[in-house]
Structure 1
Amino acid sequence: MRRIALAPLALVAVLLGPQPASAADGPGWEPAPSAPWDVAAGVRCDFPVHGEPVVDEVVRRVLSTYPDGSARRVAYKGDLVIRVTNTGTGATHDADASGSAVVEYRRDGSQRWAVHGPVFVGVGEGGGTLPRGLYIIDGVYTMDIGATGYKSVHLVHGSTDDLCARIG
């Protein structure tokens, strides 16, 4: 696991603001389930991978919308554990991705994530500031996802856990 500290933790309050303690707090929270997925060998890891939520209590709340009613800023929180499987060998790892995030969805298709805690991130070859792979990124950070899908992760304080190495 790699640890990086780049800036003061005070940025957390600025980026995320106050977060409700549970999904039952306040109106407007709705389920945001994750679907199972598969990627071929070489796409994220050197081998084929299957991912499936084994715990999925993620909820979302729309914080602001564009004039047409589409979501502009959305908060996400809740327990999420994804079982990541090397389908070639059967090796598995249950990855805790139970962080919280506020995501800004931009008109050009890009996104800005302000994150606290662990979130699951997949990166393709040449597709981000991290090497190709599957990661749990934990800590306080932002992630910009360009309109082309390029992911720039900016850790304030945190760590990356290489899931391909865990199940390879």
Structure 2
Amino acid sequence: MRFSGMSIAVASVVAAVVAALPGSASASGGERTSGAWVPAPQEAFEMPAGARCEFAVRVEPIVDEVRKLTLATYPDGSPKRELFTGALVDRVTNLETGATSTADASGTSLVVYGTDGSMTWYVTGPVLLGFREDAGTLPKGLWIVDGQFRVEFTPSFDKTITMLHGTTHNVCTDVD
């Protein structure tokens, strides 16, 4: 039987979720699990000119049905693995001209948190990611990344994207 890269990635996320459910063999070594979905609302935010876009920008959710499931925690109670999913549509506004656009960021992500402040996202579907100048694998901007991919964040939030397949689009160009 042949599997596509997409099937393998989905199977990997499902296997990780199942392995981390309460009562599973991998939920050992001090890990605690939760099992309750809770809302995970996104806060609106503004960035000054030059930080992500060449102009000041505001990003605010207009549809936000994102929820999270904590799969495992560290002994101190901080999250070790969480699953995020749900509809998220953001309005992106150029604060200098008033031009607006919407960005669908309704992907599903398994997030694995490192003890050093790093994290890795295993994503299916679109997410909105901001990149600073020279701080990752994409140029400065607000990017919709869609498909199946992994995002590795350093403790200082530099980002490395490894695409299995998908597309990228800089939303700054939509409101320029």
TM-score, normalised with respect to structure 2: 0.85
- 2:49 corresponds in structure 1 to 41
Secondary structure of 2:174's match? helix
Deviation string, structure 1 residues 28-61 (Cα, Å, up to 9, x no partner):
1000000010000000010000010000000000
Poorly superposed stretches of 4+, deviation over 3 Å: none
* Distance apart, 1:12 and its partner CA: 1.6
The question of whether the paired residues in 2 share the 8 Å contact of 1:123 and 1:132 is answered with yes
Match of 1:82 in 2: 90
Q: Is the 8 A contact 1:15 1:114 kept in 2?
A: no
SS at 2:173's partner residue? helix
Rounded Cα–Cα distance in structure 2 between residues aligned with 1:88 and 1:39: 12
**Which residue does 2:12 correspond to in 1?**
15
How many residue pairs are counted as aligned between the two chains? Answer: 155
Could you say which residue in structure 1 is the equivalent of 2:73?
65
CA distance in 1, matches of 2:64, 2:72: 24
Larger relative contact order (Cα-Cα within 8 Å, sequence gap ≥ 6): 1
| Residues 8-37 of structure 1: per-residue CA shift (max 9 Å, x gap) | 223322432178xxxxxxx51000000010
Output the amino acid matched with 2:74. Answer: Y
Q: CA deviation at 1:129?
A: 0.5
Structure 1: gaps spanning 5 or more residues: 1-6, 20-26
Q: State the match for 2:102 in structure 1.
A: 94
Residue aligned with 1:9, SS? helix
The structure 2 residue matched to 1:156, chosen from 164, 171, 176, is 164
Equivalent residue number for residue 143 of structure 2: 135
Partner of 1:114: 122
More helix by share: 2
Deviation sequence 1:54-111 (CA, Å, 0-9, x none): 0000000000111111110000000000000001111111100000000011100000
Larger Rg belongs to: 2
Question: 1 or 2, which has the higher strand percentage?
Answer: 1
Structure 2 residue ranges without an equivalent (≥5): 18-34
CA distance, structure 2, for counterparts of residue 10 and residue 80 of structure 1: 24
Report the 3-state secondary structure (helix = DSSP H, G, I; strand = E; otherwise coil) of the residue aligned with 2:72. strand
Percent identical:
43
